[in-house]
Amino acid sequence: MPDWRLTTADSVAQARGILAREQEALAKAGVPGVLGLTGGSSLEGLVTKGDIDLHLRVQPAEFELAKQALVPRYRPVHLDIWTGSFATFERDAQPPIGIALTVVGSEHDHRFTTSWDRMRTDAAARAAYNALKRAGGDVEHAKSRFFDGLTGSSAG
């Protein structure tokens, strides 16, 4: 079972600092798109294992370029769930950093933006998210079902 902890104002500020550094590095590397902070480290009071989740949103014509440009800095992961508008990457760092790359307006883009917009404003959703993480088991599958419910989608 992961070492879960609650985010604090300080840990969210640290995550935002990592976001700023990654934005700068990706811009220097010519990676297109808009990078945002998402996941458990993005909001105070959420259960997290301390990793940083980022969401890179690109225009359709930029997707392949962004996918290729991320590879020197991040390793591709979860290739079995990639689509023509969604890809995932990770970098072993302290803390670990993951990037979800989506095409603006795609199903996965909608899922990320809608679900995290709701998490920012819905205390009951945040409580349910924390409970499913603490319950253990297949947390990734449980989170996918949870976000399906938040967004009314089946992208997971």
Residue 52 lies in a domain: yes
Residues shown for the chain: 156
| Confidence grade of residue 138 (pLDDT, cut at 50, 70, 90) | confident
What's the CA gap between 8 and 87, in Å, rounded?
29
The HSE-up count of residue 121 (CA atoms within 13 Å, CB side) is: 6
Residue 66 lies in a domain: yes
3-state secondary structure of 92: coil
Residue 146 lies in a domain: no
Residue 88 lies in a domain: yes
- Given a cut of 60, whether residue 156 has pLDDT beyond it is no
Residue 57 lies in a domain: yes
What's the CA gap between 27 and 47, in Å, rounded?
30
What is the pLDDT, as a whole number, of residue 154? 59
- Given a cut of 70, whether residue 9 has pLDDT beyond it is yes
CATH code, domain with 47: 3.30.460.10
3-state secondary structure of 33: coil
Q: Contact 34/23 with Cβ under 8 angstroms?
A: no
Per-residue pLDDT tens for 76-122? 999 999 999 999 999 999 999 999 999 999 999 999 999 999 999 99
Q: Contact 77/56 with Cβ under 8 angstroms?
A: no
Residue 115 lies in a domain: no
Residue 29 lies in a domain: yes
CB count, 10 Å around CB of 139?
A: 18
How many domains does the chain fold into? 1
Q: Which residue range forms the structural domain that includes residue 101?
A: 5-106
Q: Would you state the structure tokens that stand for residue 123, as one six-digit string?
A: 């205390």
Residue 98 lies in a domain: yes
